[in-house]
Amino acid sequence: MQQKRLSWNWVGAGLAGVLLLTGCGSPQKISYAAGNSITSNTNISGYNFLDWQAGMRVLMVYDGAYQKEDCESSMELKGTTAINQCRIVFNDGTIVVWRIVTDDGKSAELIINETSYRIPEAGNLVVIHPENGVIQVQQQQRELTTISFTEKSIDAWLKADPLIAPIVFPKIY
């Protein structure tokens, strides 16, 4: 039987939260949802879903078992640049550090282990697959505006996506 454990990286209890980042200039309002799929108490995959008030949404999916996830967000002291980052330690020893840097909440630079990607232009769905210290990154465009910040909505979307469903819910496929 599949079990689900939700973990929070940025905000308090519940599945959705809002964090108001402040700085010099207009603050950016960012919502976060994070969760992990677990089968037989073994962590097999995970995701982070980020939503900026200005309209950008990004879904980061981790295709692999991991033992640790540390995430944080910050605002540069000068200006309105928001930086969201996570450090994932996978069970095979692979370490992935990603950062999303945005000035406007509409587009951003995604940096994964020092390789740069553009979002949403090159895709707002990012799948990270680690294998023996090497990572593969797959970036695709998806319609993420239909997802609300509820477990039911996120799960339904994940189960319906042909690329993501076998990663997050492998026992079903």
Torsion of CA 147, 150, 151, 154, to 10 degrees: 10
Q: What is the pLDDT of residue 54?
A: 85
Q: What is the pLDDT of residue 147?
A: 87
In a domain, 116, yes or no: yes
pLDDT tens per residue, range 42-64 = 467 888 888 888 889 898 888 88
In a domain, 13, yes or no: yes
φ and ψ at residue 77, rounded to 5 degrees: -65, -30
Q: What is the pLDDT of residue 78?
A: 54
In a domain, 28, yes or no: yes
Beta strands 108-112 and 115-119: pairing type? Answer: antiparallel
Q: Which domain holds residue 28?
A: 2-168
Provide the 3-class DSSP secondary structure of residue 165: helix
What are 123's two structure tokens? 């895709």
In a domain, 173, yes or no: no
In a domain, 90, yes or no: yes
∠ at Cα 20 (97, 73), nearest 5°? 10
Q: Is 62 exposed, middle or buried (0-12, 13-18, 19+ CB in 10 A)?
A: buried
Q: What is the pLDDT of residue 158?
A: 87
Q: What is the pLDDT of residue 153?
A: 84
Q: What is the pLDDT of residue 34?
A: 46
pLDDT per residue as tens, the chain (173 positions): 333 333 333 322 222 333 323 233 444 555 554 443 332 224 678 888 888 888 898 988 888 888 887 887 776 555 678 888 899 999 889 999 999 998 888 999 999 999 999 998 889 999 999 988 899 999 999 999 988 877 788 888 988 999 888 887 775 54
Number of domains in the chain: 1
Fill in the amino acid letter for 124: N
pLDDT tens per residue, range 128-150 = 999 888 999 999 999 999 888 77
